[in-house]
Amino acid sequence: MLARMPLTRRRTLASLAAGAAALGAPAWLRAATSVSADRFALGVASGQPRADGMVLWTRLAGDGLPDAVEVRWSVARDESMRDVVARGSETAHAADAHSVHAEPRGLEPGRWYWYRFDALGAASRVGRTRTAPADDASATLAFAIASCQRWDAGFYAAWRHLAAEPLDLVIFLGDYIYEYGARQGGVRATPGGAVRSLQDYRERYALHRSDPDLQAAHAAAPWLVVWDDHEVDNDYAALQGQDLDPGFAQRRAAAYRAYWEHMPLPKSARPRDVELRLYDRFAWGRLALVHLLDDRQYRDPQACPRPGRGGSNTVALKDCPSLLDERRSLLGAAQERWLADGWSRERAWNLLAQQTLMSRFSWRDPAVEPTYWTDGWDGYPRSRERLLRGMLAAQARNPVVLGGDVHTHYVADLKRDFDDPKSPVVASEFCGTSITSESLPQARIDAALPFNPHIRFGRGDRRGYMSFRLDARRLQCELRVLDDARRADSAIATAARFVVEDGRPGAQPG
Ligand code: FE
Ligand code: CA
C-alpha cells in the first residue's frame, strides 16, 4: 500500500501539470511538476534509526545541476506532511555526487515519521521512517534481512513484497551492487563494463536506485547497511584485491566513497583517506542491541589462495595449516575487541548483523577430510572462536547471528565446538538467501548437509529474504522465497518458519 502512495502522488502531480499547462495555472506548479521526476529520480532512503532521530538520504539527478544546490528536508508526523515537526536544509555538492545526508534530531522515540525533500522547485516522494524506542522502553521489532541483489540476475520482486510487509527496520547485509560488467544471458541489461572508477561506481549505484521496487523498500522503513565484497571487488581482503592489483587501494577508496554517497549513512561516516567506519551498534529499547559488523575492511588475506592470486579457495584443512594460525582475523583486532566489550547482558536479544555464514560448513566429511571455503568464517576459525568465547564470557543474552553472502537460506545452531556432538549450542543463526544472485546447485548443498548436522535448513534454489518478529519472549522467522526472481511479477511464499525462545539458543521449527 505504502509503495503505491508516491506513485499516486506523482500521477496526481502529472495530471495537475497537464491541467496546469492547459488552464494557465501558476508557474511554480508547472516548474515543480515538470522536473520533479528527474531531480528525485533516485528516490529517498532513511537509515540508522536512533531514539531521537535518523539519517535521511537522497541524491539529486538529471542534467545541468549547479555545483551546489540547497536541498530542504522536512519531517512530519503524518503521511500527508501536514504536521511538520522538523525541517532543515543541506547543500548537495557535485563533489559528493549531489548526495544529501540529513540528520534530524530531537524527534520523539518509538514512533513513525514521514519525510520529503525539496530542491530546485521540485519535491521528492514522501518516505516513511521511524525512531527507535527509548532506551528504557519495552518494545517489539519487526525486521527483515536481505543481501546480494545482482542487477542482471533478476528483477526486484523480493523488494516489492518486502516493502508491503509491516517492518520497522530492514537490515541489508552486503552485495548491494556487483562490480562485474554485463554478461551473456543476463535477465536485464547492465550498462557499462566492470566497475573501477568513482564515476563507474556512482553510475552502478544510480542504476540500482532507478528500480521502483528497490526505491519502495527504501521509502518504506529505515535501513541498517553493511557491505560485503562486491561493493568493491569480488573476494577482496582489506587492501588486497583478488587480482593482487597494485592500484587496489585507489579503487577501494573510490568504491567506499560512492558507497557513502549512496547509503543513508551519517555525515560523520564520510570516508577519510581509505577508511570508512561502518561497524556500529543500534539499541531497540530494552528489547535488542544490533551489532553491525564489517568483515571486509580489516581482515587478513584469505589463507591458501590459488597460485598467483588473492581471494577465496576451497581447501582441505590438511593442505592449509595456516587456516589455524591464531593471528589471523576476519574483523581485525580493534573490531574484535569492540565486539567483545559491547555484548549486552541487559537487553533481551543481541542481534549480530554481519556478512556471511558463521557456522562451520565442511564440504566433505569432516571426520575424513574437513574441507572449507576460505572467504567466510571457516577461513578464519580462530577469529570465530575468539568471538564466541568473548560472547560467552560477557554472558550475552540470546545471541542471534544474522548473515547473507552465500545466496542460500541457512538456519543453524552455533556450537561451542563443532567437532563435539555433545557441545552446547551457544547461539542461533539465520543466514538469508539473496534478492537475485544465483546460488550453487541444490544437489551440491544437499550432498554436504549430512556433514554439517548443526545446519537445520539449507536451500539455495530460491531467491528472497528473511522476515522476523521479535518480542521479549521469542524470535519468529519466516524464510521468504520467490517463485522466480527472473520475473518482475513473481509471487512470494514462506518456505519454512522457525522460532527461538528466550533463554534457549538454537532455532526450533515454528
Ligand atoms: Fe553475493
Ligand atoms: Ca559476497
Residues 178 and 268 in one domain: yes
Segment 352-375 shows an average pLDDT of 98
Q: How far is the CA of 407 from the centre of ligand 1 (A)?
A: 6
The predicted pLDDT at position 362 comes to 98
Q: How far is the CA of 466 from the centre of ligand 2 (A)?
A: 17
Residues 235 and 335 in one domain: yes
In this structure, which amino acid lies at residue 39? R
The predicted pLDDT at position 19 comes to 36
Please check whether residue 486 lies inside any domain of the structure: no
Which residues span the domain enclosing 398? 143-476
Q: How far is the CA of 406 from the centre of ligand 2 (A)?
A: 7
Q: How far is the CA of 503 from the centre of ligand 1 (A)?
A: 32
Q: How far is the CA of 141 from the centre of ligand 2 (A)?
A: 27
Segment 234-254 shows an average pLDDT of 97
> Residue 373: nearest ligand to its CA?
2
Please check whether residue 427 lies inside any domain of the structure: yes
In this structure, which amino acid lies at residue 276? L
Residues 359 and 337 in one domain: yes
The pTM for the full model equals: 0.93
Q: What is the per-residue pLDDT across 487-498, written as a single tens digit (0 to 9) for each?
A: 999 999 999 999
Residues 202 and 348 in one domain: yes
Please check whether residue 91 lies inside any domain of the structure: yes
The predicted pLDDT at position 419 comes to 87
Q: How far is the CA of 277 from the centre of ligand 2 (A)?
A: 19
Q: What is the per-residue pLDDT across 451-506, written as a single tens digit (0 to 9) for each?
A: 999 999 999 999 999 999 999 999 999 999 999 999 999 999 999 999 999 999 99
The pLDDT-based confidence of 16 (bands split at 50, 70, 90) is very low
Residue 23 has pLDDT above 80, yes or no: no
Backbone angles phi, psi at 289, to 5 degrees: -125, 125
Residues 171 and 105 in one domain: no
Count of domains forming the chain: 2
CATH number of the domain within which 205 lies: 3.60.21.70
In whole angstroms, give the CA distance from residue 103 to residue 50: 11
Residue 228 is classified by DSSP as: -
Residue 28 has pLDDT above 60, yes or no: no
Residue 179 has pLDDT above 50, yes or no: yes
Residues 110 and 214 in one domain: no
Residue 387 has pLDDT above 60, yes or no: yes
Please state whether beta strands 223-225 and 169-172 pair in parallel, antiparallel, or not at all (unpaired): parallel
Q: What is the per-residue pLDDT across 188-231, written as a single tens digit (0 to 9) for each?
A: 999 999 999 999 999 999 999 999 999 999 999 999 999 999 99
The pLDDT-based confidence of 1 (bands split at 50, 70, 90) is very low
Where a domain ends, among 131, 161, 188?
131
Poorest-confidence range of 6-10, 253-257, 382-386, 401-405? Answer: 6-10
The predicted pLDDT at position 273 comes to 80
Residues 249 and 227 in one domain: yes
CATH number of the domain within which 93 lies: 2.60.40.380
Poorest-confidence range of 25-29, 52-56, 62-66, 145-149? Answer: 25-29
The predicted pLDDT at position 96 comes to 98
Q: How far is the CA of 12 from the centre of ligand 1 (A)?
A: 39
The predicted pLDDT at position 61 comes to 97
Please check whether residue 506 lies inside any domain of the structure: no
Please check whether residue 59 lies inside any domain of the structure: yes
Q: What is the per-residue pLDDT across 102-115, written as a single tens digit (0 to 9) for each?
A: 999 999 999 999 99
Where a domain ends, among 79, 108, 131?
131
- Neighbouring residues of the ion ligand 1, judged by CB less than 5 Å: 148, 175, 437
Provide the grid cell at 96.
Answer: 559528493
Percentage of the residues of the chain whose pLDDT score is greater than 70: 93
Question: Buried b / exposed e across 299-317, counting CB within 10 Å, b at 16+?
Answer: bbbbbbbeeeebbbbebbb
Q: How far is the CA of 240 from the centre of ligand 2 (A)?
A: 15
Rounding to the nearest 10 degrees, give the CA dihedral for residues 194, 196, 202, 206: 10
> Residue 356: nearest ligand to its CA?
2
Please check whether residue 485 lies inside any domain of the structure: no
The predicted pLDDT at position 407 comes to 98
Question: Any residues with CB less than 8 A from the CB of 149 and at least 6 apart, and which?
Answer: 156, 159, 175, 176, 177, 208, 214, 434, 435, 436, 437
Residue 12 has pLDDT above 80, yes or no: no
Please check whether residue 136 lies inside any domain of the structure: no
Nearest to 55, CA basis, from 46, 64, 68, 63: 46
| Three-state DSSP class for residue 194 | coil
Segment 381-403 shows an average pLDDT of 98
The predicted pLDDT at position 3 comes to 36
Where a domain ends, among 131, 166, 193?
131
Q: How far is the CA of 66 from the centre of ligand 1 (A)?
A: 36
The pLDDT-based confidence of 421 (bands split at 50, 70, 90) is confident
Q: How far is the CA of 179 from the centre of ligand 1 (A)?
A: 11
Q: What is the per-residue pLDDT across 305-342, written as a single tens digit (0 to 9) for each?
A: 999 999 999 999 999 999 999 999 999 999 999 999 99
Please state, rounded to an integer, the average pLDDT across all residues of the chain.
93
Q: How far is the CA of 198 from the centre of ligand 1 (A)?
A: 21
The predicted pLDDT at position 274 comes to 86
Residue 507 has pLDDT above 70, yes or no: yes
The predicted pLDDT at position 220 comes to 98
CB neighbour class for 319 (10 Å; exposed up to 12, middle 13-18, buried from 19):
exposed
Measured CA distances, 179 to 48, 55, 176, 228, 239 (Å): 25, 26, 10, 12, 17
Residues 409 and 267 in one domain: yes
In whole angstroms, give the CA distance from residue 137 to residue 260: 31
Residues 161 and 284 in one domain: yes
The predicted pLDDT at position 472 comes to 98
Segment 403-429 shows an average pLDDT of 95
Residues 24 and 167 in one domain: no
Q: Is the dihedral of CA 507, 282, 1, 489 positive or negative?
A: negative
In whole angstroms, give the CA distance from residue 85 to residue 131: 13
The predicted pLDDT at position 22 comes to 38
Please check whether residue 495 lies inside any domain of the structure: no
Q: How far is the CA of 22 from the centre of ligand 2 (A)?
A: 53
In whole angstroms, give the CA distance from residue 498 to residue 169: 19
Q: How far is the CA of 156 from the centre of ligand 1 (A)?
A: 15
Segment 362-386 shows an average pLDDT of 97
> Residue 463: nearest ligand to its CA?
1
Residues 121 and 154 in one domain: no
Which bin fits 97, alpha (ψ -120 to 50), beta or left (φ > 0)?
left
The predicted pLDDT at position 376 comes to 98
Q: How far is the CA of 1 from the centre of ligand 1 (A)?
A: 29
In whole angstroms, give the CA distance from residue 427 to residue 48: 25
Strand pairing partners for 459? 409
Segment 376-392 shows an average pLDDT of 98
Residues 57 and 169 in one domain: no
The predicted pLDDT at position 91 comes to 98
